[in-house]
A and B are shown apart, each in its own frame.
Chain A
């Protein structure tokens, strides 16, 4: 059994691992970095430090991309290894526990960060691994430097 927090971006339902969630807050104030990627377009201040902002709409191709200086209605603060991410979202649902056997392989997505698919409140919901997004970001940057 694993616990997830379902969130929505536009009309796309996504589930993130509850163990990575550090805080759920309101709208985010952030600033764009001129040479950042669409997945991690900028930076925000949180608990006295700067953290990366992740735009799931850009990653998933769902809804409008973030536009500074504000984010969406809610913000998830997630810990992925040594990195903390602020993830603006449209809505956060009640956490739920799902049996591993209820997580299907993703049917419509092949990206490495889409690890599965579950049904939540009648909606097909992508299980995403935001750590994979951070790792792919590092790879993009490293590739751009060589």
Chain B
């Protein structure tokens, strides 16, 4: 897993989904996606982006605000979201319980990629707006 210690909430994504990690200023694709935007502004934190493979070979970038770490996670520490929340948060598949009992959100890349693709599609079809 690649873990991001974002002050707004820790999150993680499977390392196998991450193509590379870049300083945000070096990313030249579509604007990076801030998965935790609804939890508060990024502020002036130094940022990097995690680059994932999107649909049709297009790459997408996730804002990584906070320290990064790569590490193994025991599958027993990955707890799927309860059904009452799963529909409200499709981009989060589970929580990860750390040894100190702190929690992280496990991001579901396919849901992020899917929502990213739909946003791009809207931009490409102005007649629908």
Task: Tell me the A residues contacting B by CB distance below 8 Å.
Answer: 29-37, 40, 43-45, 48-52, 68-69, 82-84, 134, 137-138, 140-142, 144-145
Contact = CB atoms under 8 A, between A and B. Distances in A.
Given A29-B103, A45-B103, A35 B89 contact: yes
B85 A31 contact: no
Residue of A35, A82, A141 with most chain B CB atoms under a 10 A cut-off? A35
Contact of A33 (B76, B80, B105): B105
Contacts, number: 83
B38 A34 contact: yes
A7 B102 CA distance: 26
Contacts of B88: 33, 35-37, 40, 137, 140-141, 144
A141 B88 CA distance: 6
A35 B82 contact: no
B95 A31 contact: yes
Interface of B: 8-10, 35-39, 76, 79-85, 87-89, 91-92, 94-95, 97, 101-105
A45 B97 CA distance: 7
A82 B86 CA distance: 14
B84 A83 contact: yes
A145 B115 CA distance: 13
A51 B82 contact: yes
A30 B82 contact: no
A144 B95 CA distance: 23
B9 A43 contact: no
A22 to B, nearest CB: 14
Interface centre among A30, A40, A45, A144 (most CB of B within 10 A): A45
